[in-house]
Structure 1
Amino acid sequence: MCTIHASVAQRGFPAVKEAFTSAQIPFSENDDGAILVWLDSLKEGDKVFQRLKPFQIINRIPNVNVLCRKAPLARIIQRIAPFFPNLFTFMPKSYILPFKNTQLVRALSRDNCCYIIKPDSGSLGQGITIVEPNTEFEPDDTMAVAQQYIDSFLIDNTKFDLRIYALVTSVNPLTIYVYRGGLARFCSEENDGDTIYSKLTNVAINHNSVLLTEVFKKMKNELNIDTDDLWKKIDAAIALTIISAASFIQKGVEWHCPSMSGYNRCFQILGFDILLDKKCQPYVLEVNYRPSLDTHNGDERRMKVDLIRSAILIGAPFHLAQHALSERKWAWTKDSWEDFLRKTPEIASAADASRKNAVKKSKYEMIWPSTDPEKKEWQKVYEKAIELPLEQMPGITVPQSITGP
């Protein structure tokens, strides 16, 4: 059977290795001849793109951290939302600290609501503070985001949020899929409590995760929630968030790993944390650069193996390219590989057919691009995102070669 090969870090998640085995894709550590380079670390940085061979594809998109750090995500949304106020209703009111310390102090004295303060680069629930209204708050110089606390939809008097997975397989044209599954993460204490175990759903604090499909079934059958409509709203929140950063990630790909003749060289699974308010309206709390692929039970393991397996088959369907690499015994340069792709268009056409087949057999649904008339305004958001000037983001150093003078 003709398939790609993968280079996978030895200490990767067991679910990742199981996914490669399920997809019948050979993998090993540091395989220089593998089409796919799969990373699970959080600390690769841009140097990983410099090490790629011209034919290699990687499960990372350069510059996507503008979405996955809390401060730049808030800025990305805040700069485009005023142009489309009716669409951008899915982000909690946010203050980027320390730049908006004064405004936050005023809001705490004026608004009858709590704010959750999250360190910009924090993860696993570390460093999160909940500030009550009309309480003393002494800001410091730490980079963070203060998000208005959303009174959430409850099931059995318990707060929960959703971990939804998006797959970006191309940045130009921007192509986004959403996995029709995921997790609902419940607090371990009922909402009446006053501890973090009743307020925060992060898996590092609470370990009560249930398959999203089971929770949506309960919401539909017992609580009369239109889950099909809810999926549409979640899709919109995810797509518009990613579209808002289109210019940054397109420049990053152009700079670090440009596509060649239909040969896209990067893709990425993103984990969206979605909270439902009391009216079941979704809010994007944050976007995860490398969503945890650890598993805590059999159902979660099977879901994540399927999620990863399908993402690999959709994101890297270049079996003919791998065959060409196996046949040729001398090295490829960027120019020779690009020339080969240009003269061998069947590689791109076979990849396109394989991708469509993989999508059809998967639980991923392409949400952008789309001909759906309800998504017509999304194109205008995309055009505005491309039109807005690139700028340095709080907490992120974007090379001046990308942002310009």
Structure 2
Amino acid sequence: MEKEAKRSKIIFNVSNTKYEIIKHVGSNVFGWILSNSPTDSNWDLFWTDNSVIPDRLSRMKPHQKINHFPGMFGIARKNCMANNLNKMRNIFPHDYNFYPKSWVLPSDLNEFKAELQQSSKTYIVKPEASSQGRGIYLVKRLEDLRTHEHCIAQRYLQKPFLIDGLKFDLRIYVLLSACDPLRIFIHEEGLARFATEEYQNPSRGNLDEMFMHLTNYAVNKHNPKFVQNEDPEHCDIGHKRSLSSVLIRLEEEGYDVTTLWDRICDIIIKTICTIQPSLSHFYRSSQPDDVSNGMCFEILGFDIILDHKLRPYLLEVNHSPSFTTDSQLDFKIKERIISEALNIMNIKVKNRREYEMISKTLSSNRIINKKSRQESLEEKKGLRDEATRKNDRHSDKHCGGYIKIFPGENDDYYQQFLEAARELWSDVTAVKQKRQTETARSSTPTAIRPISV
């Protein structure tokens, strides 16, 4: 009886997530069977709070889906994102000017020291792999630099846009439903996280005032002044508010929210363009026979801050944004973000049978001679194109609060960034291959010549 139930329902493996909201959505919203066994391979959907390596994807069955793409570290790690965005800024200085000038330490240490000695600006230093505000501090002079190991330094935005005298940032939720071809959605709802002390321009006397300078919820919730929003029907109070309530307030005060939203969407697309080639490489090399382009998906948390002129700047990208639900507001928003993403991914029991049939068809067409092999490649391309059209039709009908931003009206404009990213990726892989070849040669023992007598 239990086996029959599993055959007729989605099996959702939640053994590697700490978030109760994930389990709630699977069980209570969709009615799926939850599996808590880390060794169980008989699942349709696997949710993990950790990154996914290519080997894990390569071992997945055609009908299975997982909530991360291998290679997302390219924007999820602060140092990697800074490197990738810096490279694109060198090529497109006016198009990639949406993030603070950044230095990756220790490799850029000398350049950053020179910057500190010549400038009176303030800089923020962040550990390259930390989260929730851990290890972050501000510097104005060289002697303020506590460490230069494995961190990034950025120019601090000294004139942020303020609401009620407080600095804040926006957590924008983005769904990447496919990587080749690319499919990007932005959700209409999100969060605004506020600092808990009134903002003052950074000075020698307040550099350590983290409740003033940082907007991280994990930091500010420890301030006795922190006000939790316990009423999801009134999303415009407290130190964590809904994204929509902030946008409504800005619009009521006469600001151009439409242009702001368009700029945020532009930032998201351009950022993901920087890693599309690597995502595609890892995906295709791990699942060369997959035609669905839908075995992986990712809910990303883009952190955006606004300057005093309402221009958005990218602070960081979270590949595992927190789904902790400390308040009813949290619960209401995050339940939507997760459930509507899963609706787009079209996770159904019949997918098992469909993908198994496709897999069998592809296997039967693998013939040794070149002509048949070419026919198989053409057939696979046709199946991929049809799967993409099918996925697009489904997402258009089931997007909920998600809005597709790529592909869209400005595809031709973004193609130049995708092409540049492919060239950069090709250069990186060429260097890696050269190093591997040199390493292999150096490790090969040379023949011992006989000694002449």
Q: TM-score, normalised by structure 1?
A: 0.86
Structure-2 separation of matches of 1:363 and 1:272: 17
- The equivalent residue for 1:381 is 417
Q: Is residue 179 of structure 2 the alignment partner of residue 148 of structure 1?
A: no
Cα deviation for residue 54 of structure 1 reads 3.6
Cα deviation for residue 251 of structure 1 reads 1.1
Q: Is residue 129 of structure 2 the alignment partner of residue 105 of structure 1?
A: no
Q: TM-score, normalised by structure 2?
A: 0.77
Match of 2:327 among 292, 297, 304: 297
Q: Is residue 49 of structure 2 the alignment partner of residue 35 of structure 1?
A: no
TM-aligned CA distance change 1:121 to 1:11, over 3 Å: closer
Cα deviation for residue 303 of structure 1 reads 0.8
Contact 2:306 2:313 in 1 (8 A): yes
TM-aligned CA distance change 1:83 to 1:311, over 3 Å: same
- The equivalent residue for 2:29 is 22
Structure-2 separation of matches of 1:306 and 1:389: 35
TM-aligned CA distance change 1:36 to 1:43, over 3 Å: closer
Contact 1:55 1:337 in 2 (8 A): no
Q: Deviations over 1:32-74 (max 9, x none)?
A: 33322221x2365455335423431111101011110011101
Structure-2 separation of matches of 1:350 and 1:26: 26
Match of 1:203 among 217, 225, 239: 217
Cα deviation for residue 389 of structure 1 reads 3.5
Q: Deviations over 1:107-151 (max 9, x none)?
A: 11222211101111111111112102x452457551111010012
Q: Is residue 314 of structure 2 the alignment partner of residue 284 of structure 1?
A: yes
Superposed counterparts of 1:102-181, under 5 Å: 102-132=110-140, 134-138=141-145, 140-150=147-157, 151-181=159-189
- The equivalent residue for 2:18 is 12
Secondary structure at the aligned position of 2:417 is classed as: helix
Stretch of structure 1 that moved more, 25-34 or 188-197 = 25-34
Cα deviation for residue 182 of structure 1 reads 0.6
Superposed counterparts of 1:76-91, under 5 Å: 76-91=84-99
Q: Residue type of the partner of 1:245?
A: I
Q: Is residue 375 of structure 2 the alignment partner of residue 366 of structure 1?
A: no
TM-aligned CA distance change 1:138 to 1:276, over 3 Å: closer
Cα deviation for residue 270 of structure 1 reads 0.7
The structure with the largest alpha-carbon Rg is 2
Structure-1 separation of matches of 2:101 and 2:388: 44
Match of 2:394 among 354, 361, 365: 354
- The equivalent residue for 1:329 is none
Contact 2:11 2:44 in 1 (8 A): yes
Secondary structure at the aligned position of 1:205 is classed as: helix
Cα deviation for residue 78 of structure 1 reads 0.8
Structure-1 separation of matches of 2:383 and 2:279: 28
Contact 1:167 1:269 in 2 (8 A): yes
Cα deviation for residue 271 of structure 1 reads 0.6
Contact 1:317 1:354 in 2 (8 A): no
Q: Is residue 273 of structure 2 the alignment partner of residue 243 of structure 1?
A: yes
Cα deviation for residue 392 of structure 1 reads 5.8
Q: Residue type of the partner of 1:383?
A: E
Q: Deviations over 1:264-285 (max 9, x none)?
A: 2111011111111111111111
Contact 1:318 1:347 in 2 (8 A): no
Q: Deviations over 1:137-183 (max 9, x none)?
A: 45755111101001211011100001101111111101111111110
Cα deviation for residue 185 of structure 1 reads 0.4
Structure-2 separation of matches of 1:324 and 1:399: 40
Match of 2:67 among 56, 59, 63: 59
Q: Deviations over 1:9-47 (max 9, x none)?
A: 2753121122223134433234533322221x2365455
Q: Is residue 53 of structure 2 the alignment partner of residue 75 of structure 1?
A: no
Structure-2 separation of matches of 1:230 and 1:220: 10
Cα deviation for residue 104 of structure 1 reads 1.1
Aligned length: 388
Structure-1 separation of matches of 2:289 and 2:184: 17
Q: Deviations over 1:191-233 (max 9, x none)?
A: 0383110000112101331111111111111x32111211100
Consecutive unaligned residues of structure 1, counting only runs of 5 or more, are 326-331
Structure-2 separation of matches of 1:369 and 1:130: 39
Q: Residue type of the partner of 1:236?
A: D
Stretch of structure 1 that moved more, 78-87 or 181-190 = 78-87
Structure-1 separation of matches of 2:82 and 2:338: 28
TM-aligned CA distance change 1:169 to 1:259, over 3 Å: farther
Q: Residue type of the partner of 2:243?
A: L
Q: Residue type of the partner of 2:97?
A: T
Q: Residue type of the partner of 1:38?
A: W
Contact 1:115 1:148 in 2 (8 A): yes
Contact 2:278 2:425 in 1 (8 A): no
- The equivalent residue for 1:216 is 247
Identity rate, percent: 28
Contact 1:164 1:271 in 2 (8 A): yes
Contact 1:319 1:351 in 2 (8 A): no
